[in-house]
Structure 1
Amino acid sequence: MAQPRLLLTRPRPGAETFLARLSPALRVGAVISPLIEIVPNDASPDLTSYAGVIFTSANAVAHAPAGKGRPAYCVGPQTTQAATAAGWQAQMPGLDAEAMIAALSGRTELGPLLHLAGKHRRGDVAGVLSKTGLQVDVATLYDQRLLPLSEEAQALLHGDAPVLVPLFSPRSAAQFAQAATRTDAVLAVSISAAAAEALEALPLRAHDIAAEPTGEAMAEAVEKLFRRTTLP
């Protein structure tokens, strides 16, 4: 069997960062075909009335005002690292939104907070936290527009080699399921059970779920599936 090829569907900056995490064998011949395009709306939220912010995505950090030492409550290590680099006093209450909500629920002394986010977000972080007494508002900084798979990506899916496809969100997984014209050679790695659900109806050669919803865990899962597929 031919050695698997890698297909990355994240927006290009995130795809290139993830690719750099992987071993040289996986980087050879990798194809990047973003399924989501980040489109900023040039919003400039007024933070003066807030004690801090919430980030659930590194994309939000990239389109937010400078931190200037203000508190930021972040989901996952990648977002926390990005917020720290942008000048926020960043801390990570959880690896995912559910864990963060559990950690911040009822902590009224932290607020009011502003959730800086994209147009499409999974769950109502602000609404759920506000019901616990912690006031949280939302400011939308960008849209995440869906894109088709490129001709190069479709050709890869129709080639002779298996195709390793890491999927980093339920929305991108659903878009891949709709856009891919062939999937029976796909070795999928989903970041969560929610993302994996979007692929349930597809014929796949293999499908793994990362141990936790982080870039590091996704890289480990991709490497393991690659080794499992290439070992005699």
Structure 2
Amino acid sequence: MPQPRLLLTRPQLGAAQFLERLSPALRMGAVISPLVEIAPTAVLVDLTPFAGVIFTSANGVAHAPAGGGMPAYCVGPQTTAAAANSGWQAQMAGLDAEAMIANLSGRTDIGPLLHLAGRHRRGDIAGILSASGLTTQVVIVYEQNLMPLSPEAQALLEGSTPVIVPLFSPRSAHHFAQQAACTTGVMAVSISSAAAEALEALPLYAHDVAAEPTGEAMAEAVEKLFRRTTLP
């Protein structure tokens, strides 16, 4: 089998950061073709009515005001680190949104909270937490605009070389399934079972799911798949 190539479909900055986690053999010849473009909404955020904020992605942090030491409850280590670097008193409240909801539900002592989010997100976090007694509102601070796969990406998928494609959300996985001209050589790595479900109808060469929904686990899964297909 020829050595697989890597196709990254995250927004440009996130793809470049993920690429840095990987071994030189994977970085060589990698193609970046974002399926999502992040764009600010330019909404004015008033934090004064709130005791803290919720971040479910690093993009939320990037498009939020500086923290000024205010508490931030975050999903995943990468988002938590980004919030800390932006001046928030950041703590990880769970590896995914479901875990965060379980950890924060009913915590009336830490509210009210403001979820600084993208327009497209899974589940009504603010609604669920508010129903539990923890008053939570949401403000959309960024858009996630869908993008087509580039001609270079499509040519890679249609070639004879296997292509490793990490997919970091159910929405991007669904869009990839709609966009990809050919998937018989695709070795997909999904960040979660929900993302994996979006690929179920595709003819894939291989498909793995990360052990947990983090960038580190995704990098480990990609490396493991690469080694499995290149070692004799």
TM-score range, shorter chain: over 0.9
Q: CA deviation at 1:92?
A: 0.5
Q: Distance in 1 between matches of 2:114 and 2:212?
A: 26
Amino acid at match of 2:113: L
Q: How does 1:109-188 map to 2 (within 5 A)?
A: 109-188=109-188
Q: Distance in 1 between matches of 2:53 and 2:14?
A: 22
Task: Encode CA deviations 1:182-201: one digit per residue, 9 max, x unaligned.
Answer: 00000000000000000000
Partner residue, 2:33: 33
Amino acid at match of 1:55: F
Partner residue, 2:200: 200
Q: Distance in 2 between matches of 1:103 and 1:231?
A: 42
Q: CA deviation at 1:231?
A: 1.4
SS in 2 for 1:64: coil
Partner residue, 1:83: 83
Task: Encode CA deviations 1:40-80: one digit per residue, 9 max, x unaligned.
Answer: 11112100010000000100000000000000000000000
Q: TM-score, normalised by structure 1?
A: 0.99
Amino acid at match of 1:108: T
Segments of 4+ moved more than 3 angstroms = none
Q: Distance in 2 between matches of 1:41 and 1:137?
A: 17
Partner residue, 1:18: 18
What runs of 5+ residues in structure 2 fail to find an aligned partner?
none
Partner residue, 2:94: 94
What is the number of residues matched between the two proteins?
232
Amino acid at match of 2:25: A
Q: Distance in 2 between matches of 1:180 and 1:44?
A: 37
Contact 1:44 1:65 in 2 (8 A): no
Q: CA deviation at 1:215?
A: 0.2
Q: CA deviation at 1:109?
A: 0.6
Q: Distance in 2 between matches of 1:188 and 1:229?
A: 13
Q: Distance in 2 between matches of 1:177 and 1:158?
A: 14
Q: Distance in 2 between matches of 1:6 and 1:126?
A: 36
Partner residue, 2:231: 231
SS in 1 for 2:208: strand
Q: CA deviation at 1:173?
A: 0.2
Q: Distance in 2 between matches of 1:23 and 1:159?
A: 23
SS in 1 for 2:137: strand
Q: Distance in 2 between matches of 1:27 and 1:44?
A: 39
Q: Distance in 2 between matches of 1:180 and 1:93?
A: 35
Question: Quick one: percent identity of the two aligned structures?
Answer: 75
Partner residue, 1:53: 53
